[in-house]
A and B are shown apart, each in its own frame.
Chain A
Amino acid sequence: MIGSITPGEMEALRLSLEVASRSVLFSLPLAVLVAWVLTRAHFPGRTVLDAFVHLPLVLPPVAVGYVLLILFGSHGPLGSWLRRHLGIELAFSTAGAALATAVMTFPIMVRAIRIALETVDRGLEAAARTLGAGPLDRFFTITLPLMLPGILAGAVTAFAAGLGEFGAVITFAANIPGVTRTLPLALYTEMQSPSGDLPAARLATISIALGLLGLVLSELLARRVRRLLGR
C-alpha cells in the first residue's frame, strides 16, 4: 500500500506537473521581456510597472484568484472576449489553473532573470557592437546566452513554486478532480475528509520528494551551464 501510487495520486501529480510546466512555458518569454524593460529601459512608468509585477508577492493569493475571476471569468471583459474570438475558456479549466499559477510565480521569475541581466557584462555587448551586431542580434547572440543560468534558475524556481500554488488556483479554477485538482488541492481535500489522514500524509510526502528532486536537479543544471560558460 505504501509502495505503489494510487491512480488518484498519480492524477494529482500529473496535473501539478502539467499546470506548473504550462505556467512556466507561457510566462517565460514575457518574464524575460519585463525583466529587460525593468533593467534597461528608462521611461516614466517604470516604478509603477515594477510594483505591478511584484503585486502577487504581497497580495493574498485568494485576492489574485478573485481578480482573475473578475477579468477572465466567462462574463469578465477578457474572459468573454477570449471565449467569443478564440473559443478559450479559462475559468475552471487546467489552462486557468496554469494562468493563476503563472501570475503568482511571475515575480519570482522576473526577479531571477533581472539579477542575471544585471550581471551580464555590458562590455561584451559593446564588443559585439563593434563587431557589427545590431540591437536584436546582440540580444540573442550575447545577452540572452549569458543570462541563461539566471533564466534557468528563475524557471526552475517558478516551476517548483508552481507545483504548490493553492489559493489563486482554487479561487480561479476551483477544485475539480482531473482538471484542476493538483497536489496541494488534493492534499487539502483529503484533510477535509474524516478518513483522509493517511492519504494526506502520502500526498505531503510526494510533495516533499518532488520539491527536493526539483531543487537538486536545478543545482546540477546550474553547475553544468556555469561550466559551459567557463565560470
Chain B
Amino acid sequence: MLKATLLKRRDGFTLRAQLEAPTPGVVALFGRSGCGKTTLVNLISGLLEPDEGRVEINGTVLTDTQAGVSVPVEKRRVGYVFQDARLFPHLSVLANLRYGEKRATAAARVVVFDEVIALLGIQPLLRRRPHQLSGGERQRVALGRALLSQPALLLLDEPLAALDAARREEVLPYLEALRDRLSIPMVYVSHQFDEVLRLATHVVLMEAGNVIAQGSLMEVSLRPQLRAIVGPESVGAVLDGRVARVEANLTDLQVGEGVLRISLKEARAGAPVRVQVLARDVIIATQPPHGLSVRNALEGTITGLVDEQYDDAVLVTVDIGGATLLSRVTREAVAALSLRPSLRVWALVKAVSTRGHAFALGPAQGS
C-alpha cells in the first residue's frame, strides 16, 4: 500500500493531497499542467519537504511531520525518472546505469543488471555518452538507472512529455513491460490520458492542488470529474477483461458477465486486456436489435442519466452485469425512448470503434 497525506504551501499555491493505492501497480497522477502533480511526487521523493503530512510505502514511513520523521532522499530507496532524464553528462551510459546500483545496499538487490538491459533494449548504448543518445534512448537509460538503484518505489514525472509521438510510442511498450514483469510500485505523472489508459492500475485525479477523485481506472473513467480534464469527446468507460476467444483481428473479451467483441490483433486467450469504449460510440436500444451490422448488443439496465450541459447531450450509464458502459445520447433521444433509470436496454458497440483503444495488460504473447 502506498499512503500519502500531504500539505504544502508555496508562492500562493496550496497542495492538499490524500492518496491511498494498492501495491504493486501503477498509480497515475493525472491532471492539467500546473495542478500540482510534480509537487506531489517531489514531496513523496523527499526532494521537497511538506509543511505537514505523512508518506508510507508498504509499511515503511518515509515522512511523518508529526513524529518528526523525514528519511533523507538518498536513503529512501525511491527511484525517480525525471521529465528531462537528467543523465550525468560526464559519465558514459554504463557508468550512469551503475551509479545507483553501486550505492544500493546488497540486501536490497533484486533488479539484475542484465535483466534491465535486456528489458529496456539498451545493450547497444552502453559505451555511448548521454549527448549521443536520442530523447527516447535517454529516457530508457534514465529508467534503467532508476531501476538499478533497487527502488522500493519508482516515481516517473512525465517521462514521455519531452518526446514526439513516435518516440513516445517507442518508450511506452518498455513501461508496460516494467509494470508487467517487475513488482515495483510506480507513481506515474501524466497529463496525457492515453498514457494513463495504457499504464495505470490506480488513478488519482488532481486539480488546482487538490485530489478530486481516485480509484481504479474503471471507477474513475465513470466519474464526471474526469470529463472536465480530458474533454467530452474522450469520455468513455474503461473496462478490464480477459480474452475469451480470438478470431483473426477480432477478439472476444469477457467483461463482467457480458462478452464484448473488440478490434484487437494478436491477443492470447485468457490474457488480461483493457478497452476504452467511448461514450459517443455507444448506441442505446430499448428492444433487442435485429438486422444490424453492429457486433455488440449488450443487455443491461440504465443506472443513471446525467445532462452534460453541452451540445444537448445526456450521458447514460448502463450496467451490463458486473461492468458499466457510458453512452452519450441527445436529449431528444432520451425523451423519444423515455430513457430512465432501471429501464432494460441494449447497448450497441461497433467492434471497429474500439480499434486503437484496446491494450494488452499482461506480458505480450509468446514471452
Contact = CB atoms under 8 A, between A and B. Distances in A.
B78 A130 contact: yes
A128 B80 CA distance: 10
Interface string B85-109: 0101110000000011001100000
B90 A129 contact: no
Nearest to A141: B99
Interface in A117-144: 121, 123-124, 126-134, 137, 141-142
A129 B132 CA distance: 24
Nearest to A228: B90
**In the complex, which range does the number of interface residues on chain B fall in?**
20 to 34
A34 B241 CA distance: 63
A214 interface: no
A132 B86 CA distance: 15
A51 B79 CA distance: 42
A231 interface: yes
B74 interface: yes
A141 B86 CA distance: 15
Contacts of B73: 126, 129-130
B54 interface: no
B90 A145 contact: yes
Interface string A41-72: 00000000000000000000000000000000
B103 A130 contact: no
Contacts of B88: 124, 127-128, 142
Contact of A132 (B45, B47, B90, B104): B104
A123 B129 contact: no
**In the complex, which range does the number of interface residues on chain A fall in?**
20 to 34
A95 interface: no
Interface string A216-231: 0000000000001111
A128 B132 contact: no
A148 B90 CA distance: 10
Contacts of A124: 86, 88-89
B145 interface: yes
A134 B80 CA distance: 16
Contacts of A148: 90
Given A145-B90, A229-B89, A230-B129, A131 B82 contact: no
Given A132-B75, A132-B103, A127 B86 contact: yes
Contacts of A137: 103
A146 interface: yes
Contact of A123 (B78, B82, B90): B82
A123 B84 contact: yes
28 contacts: A121-B86, A123-B84, A123-B86, A126-B47, A127-B86, A127-B88, A128-B88, A128-B99, A129-B73, A130-B78, A130-B100, A130-B146, A131-B99, A131-B103, A131-B146, A132-B77, A132-B104, A133-B74, A133-B99, A133-B103, A141-B99, A142-B88, A145-B90, A146-B90, A230-B90, A230-B129, A230-B130, A230-B131
Q: Pick the 10 closest A-B CB pairs, nearest first.
A: A230-B131, A132-B103, A131-B100, A130-B80, A127-B86, A129-B73, A145-B90, A131-B149, A230-B89, A230-B129
Given A124-B89, A131-B99, A131-B100, 11 more contacts: A123-B82, A127-B86, A130-B45, A130-B47, A130-B73, A130-B78, A130-B79, A131-B146, A132-B100, A145-B90, A148-B90
